[in-house]
Amino acid sequence: MSDVYEEIVRLQRAGEPCALCTITKTVGSTPGKTTMKMLVRRDGSFVGTVGGGCLEAEVLEAALAAMKDERSRTLSFALNERDYPDSGLLCGGQLEIFVEPIVVPRLVLFGGGHVSGAIAKLAHMTGFHVTVADDRAEFVTRERHPDADLHLCGEFSELAARFAPGDDLYVIAVTRGHDKDGEVLEALARAGARPKYLGMIGSKAKKVQLFEQLAARGVPATFLERVRTPMGLSIGARTHEEIAVAVAAELISFRRLGGVPGDAARGEGARRGPDAPRDPACSPR
């Protein structure tokens, strides 16, 4: 049992999702007993057991689904040969298993400037595991970004490719210039990345110009359509801290609601509102 809880702590510190599956009720003869637990990792490996066999395979599938939608569920099983004809189950008991996702959403900020620091602080406060990455060592120190869980230094293209396999990631390109933002996006696209959220700081004019360049270099239109830029909810933000509030709110909306309500119906331009005095994404970084 201690192995399960120790693994939960390890995974949370690493920003890795998992799901805890606990037998909460048994009736009659069952291979697993009440309070037995199985902890499932994102890759399908697990620690502990809830009884083994075909039952455990179904629990594993439910655990992986729970990690994706961050919703708990209760599974009920009648262990008999009729419901599991190929299993050889003859015990005839019944049991319930509670599947609880333990998910720490992971945010990767490419760029270690002032906006990135403000976003890191709010994202950390709202439960995100935060990585700050930059190609300048002095911009990814703990002193500069005390709220980040991980600080990485390297070429943006290499760092972006490193995170590309994470389809549960929240990714923001907020580097020191348009070229570097484009470098991040191009590397993500070439590596087949499909993050849950992909934002880039910038104005509408920057979007048009940069996207034309990326398209000319072979970045698919379907990928560019996923990029939220200008990013953040329309609240008229101007300062670094206000921009961080707008972006953090959008991150939470994507996590909890799967997107920004009404986004598709209103269109990209309406997301900010016509009265915003200034495009917040043009603020100094």
pLDDT of residue 82: 55
pLDDT of residue 285: 60
- Residue boundaries of the structural domains of the chain: 2-102, 106-282
Q: How many helices (H) and strands (E) does the chain have?
A: 9, 10
Q: Is the peptide bond before 165 cis (omega within 30 degrees of 0)?
A: no
Can you give the pTM of this predicted structure? Answer: 0.82
pLDDT of residue 89: 53
User: Superfamily for 106-282?
Assistant: NAD(P)-binding Rossmann-like Domain (3.40.50.720)
pLDDT of residue 279: 41
- CB-CB contact of 144 with 55 (8 Å): no
Digitized pLDDT (tens) for each residue of the chain, 285 residues in all: 679 999 999 998 888 999 999 999 999 888 889 999 999 999 999 999 998 777 899 999 999 999 999 999 999 998 875 555 554 555 578 999 999 999 999 999 999 999 999 999 999 999 999 999 999 999 999 999 999 999 999 999 999 999 888 778 999 999 999 999 999 999 999 999 999 999 999 888 989 999 999 999 999 999 999 999 999 999 999 999 999 999 999 999 999 999 998 776 444 433 333 333 334 444 446
pLDDT of residue 54: 78
pLDDT of residue 281: 44
Pick from 57, 21, 65, 58: which is nearest to 40 by CA? 21
User: What amino acid occupies position 47?
Assistant: V
- CB-CB contact of 240 with 114 (8 Å): yes
Say which residues have a Cβ less than 8 Å from residue 13's Cβ, sequence separation at least 6: none
pLDDT of residue 84: 52
pLDDT of residue 90: 54
pLDDT of residue 29: 84
> In this structure, what DSSP letter does residue 148 have?
-
Q: Is the torsion defined by CA of 42, 46, 48, 50 positive or negative?
A: positive
pLDDT of residue 53: 77
pLDDT of residue 67: 94
pLDDT of residue 23: 96
pLDDT of residue 219: 97
